[in-house]
C-alpha cells in the first residue's frame, strides 16, 4: 500500500551528477502517492551536465514524476540556479505540470511562499535592505544574480558558485546558513507569509522564526546529495522526511517476515553441526 500525502517538496536532486542518490529517491517515490509535488529547484543539474553521464535510475526518476502527473498528481517545477536555463521558459504549462520561478499557495488558509533560494547568493549579508524591497525583492534579486553571472561569463570567469564559496570554511558556511534563513524569513514576514519554503543550501530544516515584526515557519527540503530529505505536508501538518529513518524502518518491518525464520534456522543448524 502506498502512503498518501497531500503535498511533497523535493529540491536539489542534481540529476546528471555523480552525487545524486537516485536509487534512494526512487525507493521513496515508489512508497508514496502524493496529490501535489513541488520540485523546488536544482532538479536536473544542467550546469554540470555531461553527455556521457545520465544513468538509468536518473531517467527512472523523470519517468516516475511523469507517471505521477498522468495519474492526476499536480506538479510544479520551480527553477533553481543549476537549472536556470529553464527560467527562460517560466510560466509554461503542460498538462498537470507547471514551470515557474516562485510559487504562492494557500494551504488550509495559510499563505505559503516557495522559491529555490539562490536569489540570496550575492546579497545574503544584506538582509535588512532586501526585506525593505518587499514584494519586489524576489524579482529584483533574480535579475541581479542573472546579470552578475552574465558579466562573470563575459569576463571569462566561472559562474558564482555558493558551494565553492562555503566549502572553504566551516565558520563561513554556518554564518551563511544563518544569514540565508534570516533573509528568507524577514522577507516572508514583511510580505505576510505564514510559511517560507526554500532549498538551495542543502540544509533540511523546519523551524519557527520570530523577528520584531512577526513570525513565520521556515522550511527547507534539504537535498538528495548529502541529506536525502523531503518536506511533506499532510493533514495540515509539515514534516521532514529522512530517507535514513525510512530505510531503517522498512528493513525492520521486512525482517519480521519469513527472512527471520530462515536466519533462525541457519543459526540452529550451524549450532547442531558444531555439537555433532
Q: Do the Cβ atoms of 31 and 2 come closer than 8 Å?
A: yes
Q: How far apart are alpha carbons 180 and 174 in whole angstroms?
A: 10
CB of 43 to Mn ion, least distance (A): 10
Only segment of 63-71, 150-158, 194-202, 211-219 that touches Mn ion (CB under 5 A): 194-202
Q: How far apart are alpha carbons 86 and 78 in whole angstroms?
A: 9
C-alpha torsion 10→15→18→22, nearest 10: 60
Q: Does 200 bind Mn ion (CB under 5 A)?
A: yes
Closer of 108 and 158 to Mn ion (Cβ): 158
Q: Does 190 bind Mn ion (CB under 5 A)?
A: no
Q: Does 81 bind Mn ion (CB under 5 A)?
A: yes
Which of 8, 42, 99, 221 is close enough to bind Mn ion by CB under 5 A? 42
Residues 219-258 that bind Mn ion (CB under 5 A): none
Only segment of 28-36, 58-66, 111-119, 244-252 that touches Mn ion (CB under 5 A): 111-119
CB of 253 to Mn ion, least distance (A): 35
Nearest to 145 by CA among 120, 164, 113: 120
Q: How far apart are alpha carbons 56 and 24 in whole angstroms?
A: 13
Given strand 237-242, what is the order of strands in its sheet?
92-94, 97-100, 74-78, 32-40, 3-10, 229-234, 237-242
Only segment of 42-50, 169-177, 224-232, 234-242 that touches Mn ion (CB under 5 A): 42-50
CB of 200 to Mn ion, least distance (A): 4
Helix axes of 56-70 and 22-29: crossing angle, nearest 10 degrees:
20
Q: Does 202 bind Mn ion (CB under 5 A)?
A: no
Q: Does 80 bind Mn ion (CB under 5 A)?
A: yes
Residues in touch with Mn ion (CB under 5 A): 42, 80-81, 118, 200
Amino acid at each position: 500500500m502506498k502512503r498518501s500525502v497531500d503535498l511533497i517538496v523535493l529540491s536539489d536532486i542534481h540529476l546528471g551528477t555523480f552525487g545524486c542518490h537516485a536509487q534512494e529517491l526512487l525507493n521513496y517515490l515508489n512508497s508514496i502517492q502524493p496529490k501535489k509535488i513541488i520540485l523546488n529547484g536544482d532538479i536536473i543539474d544542467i550546469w554540470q551536465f555531461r553527455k556521457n553521464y545520465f544513468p538509468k535510475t536518473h531517467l527512472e526518476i523523470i519517468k516516475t514524476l511523469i507517471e505521477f502527473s498522468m495519474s492526476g498528481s499536480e506538479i510544479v517545477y520551480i527553477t533553481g540556479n543549476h537549472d536556470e536555463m529553464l527560467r527562460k521558459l517560466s510560466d509554461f504549462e503542460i498538462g498537470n505540470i507547471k514551470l515557474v520561478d516562485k510559487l504562492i499557495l494557500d494551504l488550509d488558509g495559510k499563505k505559503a511562499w516557495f522559491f529555490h533560494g539562490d536569489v540570496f547568493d550575492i546579497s545574503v549579508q544584506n538582509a535588512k535592505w532586501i526585506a525593505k524591497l518587499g514584494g519586489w525583492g524576489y524579482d529584483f534579486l533574480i535579475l541581479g544574480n542573472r546579470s552578475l553571472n552574465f558579466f562573470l561569463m563575459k569576463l571569462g570567469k566561472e559562474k558564482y558558485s555558493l558551494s565553492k564559496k562555503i566549502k572553504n570554511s566551516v565558520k563561513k558556511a554556518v554564518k551563511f546558513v544563518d544569514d540565508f534563513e534570516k533573509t528568507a524569513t524577514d522577507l516572508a514576514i514583511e510580505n505576510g507569509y505564514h510559511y517560507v519554503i526554500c532549498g538551495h543550501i542543502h540544509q533540511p530544516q523546519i523551524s519557527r522564526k520570530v523577528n520584531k515584526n512577526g513570525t513565520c515557519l521556515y522550511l527547507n527540503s534539504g537535498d538528495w546529495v548529502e541529506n536525502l530529505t523531503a518536506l511533506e505536508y499532510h493533514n495540515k501538518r509539515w514534516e521532514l522526511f529522512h530517507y535514513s529513518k525510512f530505510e531503517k524502518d522498512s528493513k525492520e518491518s521486512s525482517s519480521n517476515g519469513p527472512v527471520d525464520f530462515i536466519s533462525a534456522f541457519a543459526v540452529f543448524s550451524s549450532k547442531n553441526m558444531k555439537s555433532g
